[in-house]
Structure 1
Amino acid sequence: MSVTRVPIQPIKKGSMLKLWLGIFIAVVAAAALAWASLRTLPAVETTASGLQITTLEAGEGPSPVDGDVTLVSYEGRLSDNTVFDAAEQQAMPVSGVVPGFSEGLKKMQKGGKYRLKIPSELGYGATSPPGSPIPANADLTFDVELLDFKSEAEIRAMQEQMQQLQQQQGGPPQGAPPRPGN
């Protein structure tokens, strides 16, 4: 049996420099990609009260205030990711929910999607809501989409228009007793 020997060619001058330059460029490119991906993570805003708000998708326009009623889709989770409540197109008065949720609603804009991390003292605190799976002193996380909001005056005006329309179409006036047999 014979062994064939293949001579190894010597490395050309400048080849090592090109190899190291290529490695350097690859490292710089990887670092730039890593830095760019960190910049695309959503920013978390922590308010003075301790509420954490993450903007997942920015909305547009003004934010609701205490006298407004919002229309939201949301999912509420406990710290172990157990979903305790969820709703599509739920009407909620800004001032009629737990303090942390109310504070979060006032920072949202129509069409936006947000994550609220509500510490227990801004949620239900040391008491558990009756009949609820939320334990006492539970921190809550909500993913919320603000679909729309209107002032209470706008909602009352819309209700009055609906009542007038119903009366014009022959419906019973509001507060009238039901007809016999109904």
Structure 2
Amino acid sequence: MSGSDEDAGRAAPSKRADARRNKETLLDAAASVFVTSGVHAPVRDIAAEAGVGLGTIYRHFPTRADLIIAVYRHQVEACAEAGPALLASSATPHAALGQWVNLFVDFLVTKHGLAAVLHSDDAGFDTLHAYFLDRLVPVCAQLLEAAAAAGEIRSDLGAYELMRGVGNLCIGADSDPRYDARRLVELLIAGLRRTD
């Protein structure tokens, strides 16, 4: 292999890594704008948050629906990957569970807006919801099992049940400034602690 062939071989993976990072930056920016301004926020606001031009966004995501679905999947993956990382880096499994639930709440606040837009395509929404459950229920279960095994929390609560409860506490949080869902979720997580 000649030197130029080796350079070309190294450039392709580097270019793919850069493109992946740029796409992740766009998705993070879109999620941030969706949280503060809703899913109907102008694309120019997302471009400004990401520090890119409008053309870059439309090149990656030709329609708003494409962008919304990509944000949804990106946030599910980030939440799924955070669980094991938090278990490895937190002082206790209960602390890791609390931090993960905070990330989950952030996702849910965004998700409620996404869900309203995506419900116009029920089959597509059902597929995304199944993906959400398949990726996040096992992560939550791992965190709950670790905290229960450490004797920090009661062991009679399932992952789906906890996630559903947290989700229900988050309903309406984005439309009522008097309602502090995060505070109620913190009380829920604190209430999991063993008292004996």
Please report the TM-score for the alignment, with normalisation by the length of structure 1. 0.28
Report the structure, 1 or 2, having the larger helix content: 2
Report the structure, 1 or 2, having the larger strand content: 1
Higher relative contact order (CA 8 A, sep 6+): 1
Please report the TM-score for the alignment, with normalisation by the length of structure 2. 0.27
Bigger radius of gyration, 1 or 2?
1
